[in-house]
Structure 1
Amino acid sequence: MNHPQTLRAWAKINLGLRILNKRPDGYHNIESIFHYIDWYDSLQFTAASGFSFSCSDTRLPVDDQNLVVRAVRRVESILGFTFPFHIHLIKSIPFGAGLGGGSSDAATVLRFAQRQWPGKLSDDTLGHIAAFLGSDVNFFLSPVTQIASDRGIHLKPLNFTIPGWILTAFPPTEVPTGWAYQQVRPFDRYERSLTDIANDHPPIDNYTGLFVNDFDEPIARLKPEIAQLKSKLQSTGALYVSLSGSGSACFAVYNDKSRAELAAGLLSAEVPVSLTPPGFLPDSQYF
């Protein structure tokens, strides 16, 4: 009997997100810190005669609309043979939350494939596949905090982790990305980069004025579910509360573990939540 190999696909949040300007190709140049949180999907790989895919959440497609399947197809085109595994996705990260769950799932397929066929799948090859699949897939190929620029595809490692407890919550609403960008006025005349600010390792209670998400104010104003969630997080004594990316997930940062756990317990009765410890990075055993 074949025993599955299990890897985890962790979610991310955006600490600060600057919409700098609109590009000629219609995309926007941004600056943002991509930071892992301890909320993950699990992918089980079981050796088989050919490729097949299943998912614990029946609302998700299991055909080429799913990034997992699309990642496999790109790998197959390079290998020149059928991917000989069944993949079962145990879905825990909410989809449509802006936490990168689908991108992380796809990147996990690429990481697994490279372990199986290292001579055929170089880091550069994986990077090209990841860029083809989506803007943030490349981030999930490496287990470190990174600064994102350009349209989110240029990444540089950052020696930084959030030194507090991170409570991430997903309200009952979705935010279409294209619509979200229409609500923001780009601005690119910042005195300091997010990299410089992060390298100073400021205290959490200074984050609000330093790590600003340009989507935060307009999206909360137009989406009452998000405004209500942020208000609840602020009322629990969080030192910093923000939208992640363009939403709809929000997160709060606490210095105190017991306060963070109490807030997580209160909110978990209403919305999906996840609590991440200080200084979190993915566990290499499952990455």
Structure 2
Amino acid sequence: MVVFPNAKINIGLNIIEKRNDGFHNIESCFYPVGWTDALEILPADELSFKSSGIDIPGAPQHNLCLKTYQLLAADYHLPHVDIHLLKTVPIGAGLGGGSADAAFTIKALNDLFSLGISLEKQLAYARRLGSDCAFFLVNEPAYCFSKGDHFEPITLNLTGKWITLINPGLHISTADAYAGIVPQKPEKDLRELLKQPLHSWKDAVKNDFEDSLFSKYQVLSEIKNSLYTQGAVYASMTGSGSTVYGIFEKEINLAPMYAQYLTWQGYLV
């Protein structure tokens, strides 16, 4: 079985407060985009995991795909599988790539072995694996809150808009990103701001990580400004970095302009 775990962007990201468990409560809109990995899972005589494409830091046994298999295998006594992950979504990039890989592993194992796991139970597994994982099981625009692991539908349709994502190759750790954050509740409700026309978002819909990270990594600010120069209606860093995206009213090929970076562009759906 082959599946294609996709990335997401954050449209707005407010860090509201620090929790007693050390995490932070946030609010954000998660929106799926078409930049994907490829994940193959096949029954096998021995359990194995391998990856290709972008190098994944850490030992293979710590990969989220393998951890996901082990989590489900403990409850469902799964046979051995061979897992191959072709990694193309950059890591530590604010795109949720690892979380998507875990969520799609849940879905693939459920389908491959006809486990009949309800969506509610799949979501419970996903929340044990990472804050963003649960979103990718539904994979539709959502208003996300708590640690980002709880969400509700949001009426937001960007179908037909063109998006360019640019990753300058920085790996920004979560700890590094949060080091410059002073949590605070936003003055205006993000859901209300996103009801406004797209062109009004520029000065209203913010990512709280930008202030501190843009001063530390000037290239991120430069990319965002250049996207506006090229005609983006809205541009922002996604997640805790380091990918910056621009949303355009019509198709524009900016790949040559950012040839030194990892890029993806296409239509939103």
TM-score scaled to structure 1, two decimals?
0.87
> Per-residue deviation at 1:205?
1.5
RMSD across aligned positions (CA): 1.8
- Residue 203 of structure 1: aligned partner: 197
1:188 paired to 2:185: yes
- Residue 262 of structure 2: aligned partner: 272
- Residue 2 of structure 2: aligned partner: 6
Cα distance between partner residues in 1 of 2:64 and 2:88: 16
Partner-residue secondary structure (3-state), 2:10: strand
When residues 189 and 168 of structure 1 are mapped into structure 2, their CA distance, relative to the original with a 3 A threshold, is: closer
Return the match for 1:253 from 247, 261, 264: 247
1:127 paired to 2:123: yes
Q: Deviations over 1:158-182 (max 9, x none)?
A: 2323352111110122222112112
When residues 19 and 190 of structure 1 are mapped into structure 2, their CA distance, relative to the original with a 3 A threshold, is: same
Q: Deviations over 1:229-277 (max 9, x none)?
A: 22332321212111101101110111121xx22x23321x110111131
Gaps of 5+ in 1: 281-287
> Per-residue deviation at 1:142?
1.1
Cα distance between partner residues in 1 of 2:215 and 2:157: 29
Contact 2:14 2:186 in 1 (8 A): no
> Per-residue deviation at 1:118?
4.3
Return the match for 1:110 from 98, 101, 106: 106
- Give the residue type in structure 1 aligned to 2:260: E
- Residue 23 of structure 1: aligned partner: 19
> Per-residue deviation at 1:119?
4.3
Contact 1:53 1:62 in 2 (8 A): no
Number of positions where the alignment pairs a residue of Structure 1 with one of Structure 2: 267
> Per-residue deviation at 1:189?
4.5
Cα distance between partner residues in 2 of 1:220 and 1:58: 25
> Per-residue deviation at 1:128?
1.8
1:149 paired to 2:154: no
- Give the residue type in structure 2 aligned to 1:186: P
Partner-residue secondary structure (3-state), 1:56: strand
Q: Deviations over 1:96-117 (max 9, x none)?
A: 2111111101111100112134
Identical aligned residues as a percent: 29
- Give the residue type in structure 2 aligned to 1:101: G
> Per-residue deviation at 1:58?
6.9
Partner-residue secondary structure (3-state), 1:64: helix
Contact 1:135 1:153 in 2 (8 A): yes
- Give the residue type in structure 1 aligned to 2:187: Y
Contact 1:204 1:253 in 2 (8 A): no
Contact 1:41 1:90 in 2 (8 A): yes
Cα distance between partner residues in 1 of 2:250 and 2:84: 37
> Per-residue deviation at 1:46?
2.5
Gaps of 5+ in 2: none
1:42 paired to 2:31: no
Contact 1:52 1:87 in 2 (8 A): yes
TM-score scaled to structure 2, two decimals?
0.92
> Per-residue deviation at 1:45?
2.2
- Residue 172 of structure 1: aligned partner: 169
> Per-residue deviation at 1:224?
1.8
